[in-house]
Amino acid sequence: MRIIAGKFRSRELVAPAGDTTRPTTDRARESLFNVLANILDFEGARVLDLFAGSGALAFEALSRGAATATLVERDRKAIEAIQKNAAKLGVTDAIKLDTRDVFRFLASRPASSFDLVLADAPYDESRALTDVPSLIFANGWLTSRGICVIEHRTGDTVSLPENAKLVRELKAGEASFTLWRTL
C-alpha cells in the first residue's frame, strides 16, 4: 500500500496487522482521488476520515495539499498503524486521532465542518450505508461546498440522506464510491 500522488507520492504505508480492516486498494484510491481532484480543491482542506483503518485515505488527501485530517478509528491495531504512518510521513501535527465509535462521534455536533468526509466502513456494517450518511448531513459535518464519500461493496445500495445531492458514483472493482454534496 502506497501514497498515489502529491508530496508523499510512492511512500509506503503500514496496514494494520490481522484481518479486521480492509484497506482500500491503491487502484481504487487512485480512481477516487482522480475524480475528487476535479471537483474539490485539496489545498488547505479539512478532512474527516471515518473508519480510518490505516489512514490511507486521509494521508492521500494530506499528500495532495489538505491542511488537517481527523481520523476516527477504535481498533487498537489500526490506531497503531495510523500513528506509525503519520510519524513516517512527518504529519503527526496535521492529524487528530479520535478513538470513539464512529456512530457516537457523528451523533455529536462538530466544532467546525469538513471539506471532505470519507467513510470506509467494514462491508458487514449495515448501519454504515444508512446511518453514517444521515448523521453526516443532519449534524453539519460537511461544509457547504464539501464532498462526502461513502465507500461500499459494489452492488450495495447507500441511502440518500436528506439535504444531499448525488455528485457521482464510481465503481473500482469490488469497491464502489458514492459522492454527495449538500443541497
Q: What mean pLDDT is reported for the chain?
A: 94
Per-residue confidence (pLDDT) for residue 49, from 0 to 100: 98
Do 48 and 20 form a contact (C-beta atoms < 8 A)? no
Per-residue confidence (pLDDT) for residue 127, from 0 to 100: 86
3-state class (DSSP) for residue 127: helix
Q: pTM of this prediction?
A: 0.95
Q: Which residues pair with 168 in a beta bridge?
A: 179
DSSP string of 58-76, one letter each residue: HHHHHHTT-SEEEEE---H
Of 35, 25, 33, 40, nearest to 5 by C-alpha is: 33
Question: CA–CA separation, 131 vs 136, rounded Å?
Answer: 9
Per-residue confidence (pLDDT) for residue 124, from 0 to 100: 82
Do 87 and 13 form a contact (C-beta atoms < 8 A)? no
Per-residue confidence (pLDDT) for residue 21, from 0 to 100: 73
Question: CA–CA separation, 49 vs 71, rounded Å?
Answer: 5
Domain extents in the chain: 26-182
Of 25, 1, 13, nearest to 120 by C-alpha is: 25
What does the pLDDT look like over 121-159, one tens digit per residue? 988 887 888 999 999 999 999 999 999 999 999 999 898
CATH level 3 topology of 26-182: Rossmann fold (3.40.50)
- Residue 158 φ/ψ, nearest 5 degrees: -105, 135
CA distances from 101 to 3, 72, 128, 132, 162 (A): 26, 8, 12, 12, 23
Do 54 and 78 form a contact (C-beta atoms < 8 A)? yes
